[in-house]
Chains A and B, each alone.
Chain A
Amino acid sequence: MSAIPDLTLPEQQTLLAILIQHPNAYGVSIRDEILKRTGREYSFGSIYAVLERLEDKGLIGSREGEVTAARGGRRKQYFTVTALGQTALQASLRAVDSMRDGVQVEGVAA
């Protein structure tokens, strides 16, 4: 159990956004997905800092995409969640769910 890394909220949100956007998850689509669902706008710097951490932990993988019309022929970088990433996300969400179980948050039934 200790091999599964703990996730912070931005890490959870990023992993979920990658899963939702699969197989077209890259910086812009991840940012837009989080914005659409949570109303929170992260800068690309924050998004990539989180992606870097997740990749270092082996929770996501990346591949280079096609060259677009962007300046200098830069390639998009697509991200996918690894098996370890899915396990970590599941464990993290389950932990939140178990904490919520039976708790009455003001105005909302938990």
Chain B
Amino acid sequence: MRADDEHSFRWFLRNCTKEPFVVWRKLRLDVYCHLFVATGAINFLATCAIAYERWSLTKTAVIVAAITAIQAVVLRIDWVSVRENLTGMAIQLLAIVGQTVAVPTVADPPRLAEFLVGLFAKKRHRAGLLHCLDEDFRADLAAGMSLARAKRRYWAAALNSLGPQLWAAIKRVGVIGLVAGYIRGKLG
């Protein structure tokens, strides 16, 4: 890094910390820290309540699951905003030191959908199946479709693929035989 670049970099970092986004982020990080401590305390109290038979296991599980779900949603929304803001700041920084960056135009397909499809697919065909879904997703983007619509179509294709894969997995594992055996056992 040249001296000029280093100067620019330092200037950028100094100014970064005054950006409303950074100030707001620091504040929110503080809130999250407190939120996590509070959640830990609630979980601890819930465990104590179960131990002293004050709360039922179901009630506690529902409370803990609800808190965790809210946390997950909040963090997910926040992560998307952080990623967008950091990308913008990184591009600004590179512009200051005189470099350009190719902003990625092709995004990745939804990870959760990929995970769900991969979960039930047989190992030897998993990569092939995900590759095919991915190819359709990229073809949609290349055809000028918006990212949001391409993702929706990916989700639709993934959910459409889940049924047959799940059914194949059920047959593979032999769940039907187990259920039939159980029912037969119950009926005598």
Give residues in A with beta carbon < 8 Å to B: 26-28, 31, 43-49, 51-53, 62, 68-71, 74-77
Which residues from chain B contact A28 at a C-beta distance below 8 Å? Answer: 132, 135-136
A44 touches B157 (CB 8 A): yes
Of the residues B117, B131, B160, B165, contact of A49 by C-beta under 8 Å: B165
B127 within 8 A of A: yes
Which residues from chain A contact B151 at a C-beta distance below 8 Å? Answer: none
Question: Can you show 10 pairs from A to B with CB atoms below 8 A apart?
Answer: A44-B133, A45-B129, A45-B164, A48-B164, A48-B165, A52-B122, A62-B128, A71-B108, A74-B134, A77-B131
- Shortest CB distance B78–A (Å): 24
- Shortest CB distance A67–B (Å): 10
- Shortest CB distance A25–B (Å): 11
Which residues from chain A contact B127 at a C-beta distance below 8 Å? Answer: 74-75, 77
A27 touches B164 (CB 8 A): no
B161 touches A43 (CB 8 A): yes
Which residues from chain A contact B132 at a C-beta distance below 8 Å? Answer: 26-28, 31, 44, 47
Closest chain A residue, CB of each to CB of B106 = A69
Binary contact readout B106-148 vs A (1 if CB under 8 angstroms, 0 otherwise): 0011000000010001101101111111111010000000000
Q: A45-B165, A71-B109 are in contact. Are A27 and B138 (CB under 8 A)?
A: no
Which residues from chain B contact A45 at a C-beta distance below 8 Å? Answer: 117, 129, 160-165
How many chain-B residues does the 8 Å CB contact rule pick out?
27
Q: A44-B129, A77-B125, A77-B127 are in contact. Are A49 and B134 (CB under 8 A)?
A: no
A48 touches B121 (CB 8 A): yes
Give residues in B with beta carbon < 8 Å to A: 108-109, 117, 121-122, 124-125, 127-136, 138, 157, 160-165, 167-168
B131 touches A68 (CB 8 A): yes
B131 touches A75 (CB 8 A): yes
- Shortest CB distance B137–A (Å): 9
| Complex Cα spacing A44 to B165, Å | 9
| Complex Cα spacing A44 to B135, Å | 12
| Complex Cα spacing A30 to B21, Å | 49
B131 touches A76 (CB 8 A): yes
Of the residues A31, A53, A70, contact of B131 by C-beta under 8 Å: A70
- Shortest CB distance B147–A (Å): 14
